[in-house]
Structure 1
Amino acid sequence: MSNSALRGSPSTVWWTHQERSVRRTVIVAGPRRSVRWRFSSSAHSPHQRGIAPPVWALNRRCRPARAVPEICPFARRKATSGHALRRAPRIPGRAVSAVNDLLASLAETLELPFWGAVLRATGTLLVGWFLASLLSRLAVRATVRLLDAQQTMLLRRFVFYGLLGGALLSAMHALGFNPAVLVGTAGVITVAIGFASQTSASNIISGLFLVGERSFVVGDRIRVGETMGEVLSIDMLSVKLRTLDNLYVRIPNETMLKSEVTNIGRFPIRRFVLTLGVAYHSDLDQVRRVLLDVCHAEPLALEEPAPGVYFDGFGDSSMNLRLLVWTARENYFEILNRIPESAKRAFDREGIEIPFPQRTLHMVSKPAAATAAPDPPPPATTP
């Protein structure tokens, strides 16, 4: 870009020609401010290209008719510099285009092409991150009643990372990189990493099977081996659990796929089983009636399915019975403590004995044995 440096009165105007554009730039120099103007090539004759002689008269009568002040394209404010500036026109466009135009104008003013590309890439990333966050939340709100927690989480991540990846490609393109080459390079690197780390690839494939099979979702309470807890998330490599002791447990997807998983919170109701024993001299009809009265008096116990008492066999010191009570899933751990306490109080009130193993030792003392006479020697043998 070639610039003229002519000095004159406080309202001197210079005409300059930009090498990258057919438009011209007007600089209105005053004692306190300097404002750049642009004119299209059709507003002036060809002989005015380059450096034109200064114009000493600039007032209301001779102000340019097609002048456009070079300010932020989406700012709707009136810029003033004497009598020569006009209201900035409204330029429609998307948010990304507006930010890119602003940053490009700033970079052109500073005459720094490289930093202009950096500013455009930074603006693209910021706007892309904002749009990705906003649209992912809107997608979740629109489908919260149609999808479960796991599907909602997957949808939000898909929208967020998809838009963010698109913004990243646009930013790399602004810096001068070819997006097709970047995508191809990323694919080759992904394949190489997959072959180098077979465990990670196996966990990713297992995670896809877990999500597709839907044997458990986020919020269910499951038991894997000796570990039981609530599912926090099903990620690409592992499943996160929170145990009853408020511990954070991470289990690889491959282990989850190969192990036996018990989904405790899949169905709305659960059955509580209480095993107890009564003495052999107890009346079983009375025991059954007392236990059923305890279940009917418990407000957390369900009437349908009805509770039941079943004989479970003869023990070493007791007759074993099983009490089956159904309750809502969220009340299971509360009824786990209330039913045994109520049964113990009812047995004490009715005089029903709950035996426990006992062992009786009998000490028997024997009298001292009499002294016996010695045996006679054997007869001698003759040769």
Structure 2
Amino acid sequence: MNIDVAGEVNVLWEEAQLILATYGFDVLGAILILLLGWIIAGWASSATRSAVERIAWMDGTVKPLIASIVRYLVIVITVVAVLNRFGVQTTSIIAVLGAAGLAVGLALQGTLSNVAAGVMILFLRPFKVGDYVTAGGNGGTVAEVGLFTTELTTPDNVYISVPNSQIIGGAISNFSRHSTRRIDIVVGIGYSSNIDTAFAALMKLAEEDGRVLADPEPQVSVRELADSSVNVGLRFWVNSVDYWPTLFDFNKAVKETLDANGVEIPFPQRVVEIKNPQ
């Protein structure tokens, strides 16, 4: 059987020319609209973030979310414009978006739960940007609350991205929520040491440090009569920003103060009594 190859090629070329003539400009226009929309979405997000950064009364936690919403809104409008380029009617677009939204919602339940959790975080406000928190099994300073994740920075400058659903589904500890925090230092002294001397030395140490708040006043107490020591506790309050420096300084100062006052900090001991020496 003879096949006219040249004729077949000519037919295919004519069909290709017809398709290009009919839809070429539409495809090219759609590509240009997509590129332009993507660029505008990035620009609009940056412009929105810059604008809301100048609003003093707006919480820093909400600002990144507003910028993200603007970006995704521009992208949705771009997709609608592309579909309209191919003659899809508005009602059809809405129907398609509704069906696509349902399908995507079923396929991305976990992702959408992160979005819902992000909204709950902004509504309940368990923390804000700049707070130090432990949430979702991670700890760090809140850098940004996004639509899907919350960004944390650890004290050693490690970036952590935690899904919002993981945060809202567990316990959240906010160490920056209140302006003051309490420090408890427990130290063991020997049973032969004078408790009143230890009390006076520790109280003087707290009263002479300017970071220790006078209200509530510092307290010294016997916490426990342990096996090898009498455990004495020093309790006082400081401003939250002074918590870690004060704690580190007092751990050193308590040891030096007790040594200077002749108060023994004993090692663990055991008393063995032999009932039958033979």
Q: Indicate the residue corresponding to 1:125 in structure 2.
A: 37
1:347-367, Cα deviation, whole Å (9 max, x unpaired)? 11111111221135578763x
Deviation string, structure 1 residues 321-343 (Cα, Å, up to 9, x no partner): 21112222222121121001111
Go from structure 1 to structure 2 and tell me whether the alpha carbon gap of 1:247 and 1:137 turns closer, same or farther (over 3 Å shift): closer
Equivalent pair of 1:136/1:157 in contact (CA under 8 Å): no
The answer for the alignment partner of 1:215 in structure 2 is: 126
Pairing 1:1-383 to 2, within 5 Å after superposition = 114=26, 117=29, 121=33, 125=37, 128-129=40-41, 132-133=44-45, 135-143=47-55, 145-170=56-81, 172-174=83-85, 176-224=87-135, 227-360=138-271, 366=278
| Percent of residue pairs identical | 25
* Cα gap change, 1:258 to 1:226, in 2 (>3 Å): closer
Secondary structure in structure 2 of the residue aligned to 1:149: coil
**CA distance in 2 between partners of 1:130 and 1:210 (Å):** 25
Q: Distance in 2 between matches of 1:137 and 1:198?
A: 28
One-letter identity of the residue aligned with 1:219: G
> C-alpha offsets along residues 213-246 of structure 1, whole Å, 9 cap, x if unaligned?
1112222211237532222333333333333343
Equivalent residues of 2:49, 2:63 under 8 A apart: no
Which residue identity lines up with residue 263 of structure 2 in the other structure?
A: I
Contact 1:120 1:174 in 2 (8 A): no
Per-residue deviation, 1:317: 1.9
The code of the aligned residue for 1:139 comes to A
User: 8 Å contact 2:183–2:243 — kept in the other structure?
Assistant: yes
CA contact (8 A) 2:136 2:166 kept: no
**TM-score under structure 2 normalisation?**
0.76
The number of residue pairs the alignment matches comes to 254
More helix by share: 2
C-alpha distance 131-172 of structure 1, shift in aligned 2 (>3 A): farther
Change (3 A) 1:264 1:274: same
**CA distance in structure 1 between the aligned counterparts of 2:117 and 2:59, rounded to whole angstroms:** 20
RMSD: 3.0
Segments of structure 2 that go 5 or more residues without pairing to the other structure are 1-23
Tell me which structure has the larger Cα radius of gyration: 1
Distance 1:225 1:325, change over 3 A: farther
Q: For the residues of structure 2 that align with 1:113 and 1:251, how far apart are their CA atoms? A: 44
Unaligned runs of 5+ in 1: 1-111, 367-383
Which of 1 and 2 has higher RCO (CA within 8 Å, sep 6+)? 2
The answer to whether the 8 A contact 2:227-2:269 is kept is no
Tell me the distance in 1 between the aligned counterparts of 2:156 and 2:39. Answer: 42
Quote the residue 1:24 is aligned against: none
How far apart, CA to CA, are the structure 2 residues paired with 1:193 and 1:163?
19
The 1-side partners of 2:161 and 2:108 are apart by 19
In the TM superposition, residue 288 of structure 1 has moved relative to its aligned partner by 1.7
Match of 1:53 in 2: none
